[in-house]
Amino acid sequence: MRFQNLLSVALISGSTMAMPINLHLFKRLTDLGHNLDINPLDSIPEAPLPTTPTTTSVKQNLKARQVIVYETVYVSPNEPAQTAASEDIEVVTVTVGVNQPAATSDSAAAVASVATSAAIATTASKQSDNTAASSSSNGFPKPKTVTYSPYNDDSSCKTSDQVYSDLSKIASLGIGNIRVYGTDCNSIYTVEPNAVKLGLKVDQGFWIGSAGVDAIDSGVQDLINWVKNNNGGDWSLFTTLTIGNEAIYGGYVDGKTLLAKIKSVKSTLRSAGWSGSVTTAEPPQSYINFPDLCTDTDGIDYVGLNAHPYFDANTAPADAGNFVLSQIKLAQSACNNRAVQITETGYPSAGNTNGKAVPTKDNQATAIKSILSAMNNNCVLFTLYNDMWKTPGPYNVEQNFGFIDLY
């Protein structure tokens, strides 16, 4: 099956240049491809976004992430994996309103030099306050957005006071945006009101899992009702709407069904006053396998991309940023050069060694610095707190992506 996938990718890409592809395994492999450079993500209007199924089903589906494993496949019939980081790769990082040059070398140093180049310095003034590169009081760089899930270690739902405490910590770090995966745990009434109090913006998601795409309908309506009845009809709390997170990749839905659902939800929200952006979040191969998902402009407004360097056994922590850039290029090539935004990336601090990927606290810091440098801090970092409510997963890392200790 693996050989068959490689053949498919070679045919799709039409290229012999070796390039790493972040490939999940969900009891099966999927095929991929690559090519081309990356356009800037034009200012995405701030707007709301929907939610997802019941508390129990969402929680179970989030826990199911543990059976999703990433593997790297190299798109090259002739070159060994060691040469995969090609010197010919040219990528542009994605920052709202800014088109930045990307690394043209396989070294982490090249990624860092690109991120601090004069070209970026001259465009930094064009960025909004929310996207400008920044660092914490201890000098560690801060992402634009962090993921947040309102669960206690025992899988129970956090109270509004607990959510407020968590979000207060995020706000105190100077991070202005959170990404929430769904509307379970009554989160519309715990996360949203507290985000308003603290001045945080929300990327609100609708979780699509084993219950199917229509299970998000109640969450969509709940969000619309909350905005209308509890927030004065004001959608400005929200930055974007994300319909599904690795729903195709996880085997929960096919691309055609997801695209149709995105269009339907988008229409419902437009009628309710939402005028902002809509996307989904998938790894590159989902877009390569079903390009209509990102090329049909009536669907998503930009390409939401999940990229995790730990699961690529050939990527060392210092090269994590370069890996993320390569994933952007893969998605860009499948999506007619549409704007790409990293919707989830990160690095574990403990767990099994996976080739060159060694999860320690020091390596987590190294990898996250590399990612934030490559992306000029404009990405969604997974995740602020360790997810002890999950099971460890096949690499014993699923509980250990929390990076709060770095600050």
Q: Do the strands 238-245 and 20-25 form a parallel or antiparallel pair, or are they unpaired?
A: unpaired
CB of 258 closer than 8 Å to CB of 298: no
**Any idea which of 41-50, 105-114, 167-176 has the lowest mean pLDDT?**
105-114
Residues with active-site annotation? 344
Q: Tokens 């995966």 map to which residue?
A: 181
pLDDT digits (tens, 9 = 90+) for 164-218: 999 999 999 999 999 999 999 999 999 999 999 999 999 999 999 999 999 999 9
Class of domain 2-406: alpha beta
211-229 average pLDDT score: 98
pLDDT digits (tens, 9 = 90+) for 233-248: 999 999 999 999 999 9
CA dist., res. 133 & res. 210, Å (int): 38
DSSP symbols for 313-373: TT--GGGHHHHHHHHHHHHHHHTTT--EEEEEEE--SSS--BTTB---HHHHHHHHHHHHH
DSSP symbols for 173-189: TT--EEEE--S-TTGGG
Produce one character per residue of 331-366: b if its CB has 16 or more CB atoms within 10 Å, e if not.
Answer: bbbbbeebbbbbbbbbbbbebeebeebbbeeebbbb
Is the pLDDT confidence value at 106 over 60? no
Closest CA to 188 of 213, 209, 207, 211: 207
pLDDT digits (tens, 9 = 90+) for 262-284: 999 999 999 999 999 999 999 99
In the chain, where are the structural domains located? 2-406
Closest CA to 305 of 339, 274, 343: 343
Is the pLDDT confidence value at 36 over 90? no
pLDDT band of residue 162 (cuts 50, 70, 90) is very high
Beta bridge partner(s), residue 84:
none
User: Which pLDDT score, from 0 to 100, does residue 138 have?
Assistant: 72
CA distances from 120 to 98, 177, 374 (A): 9, 22, 11
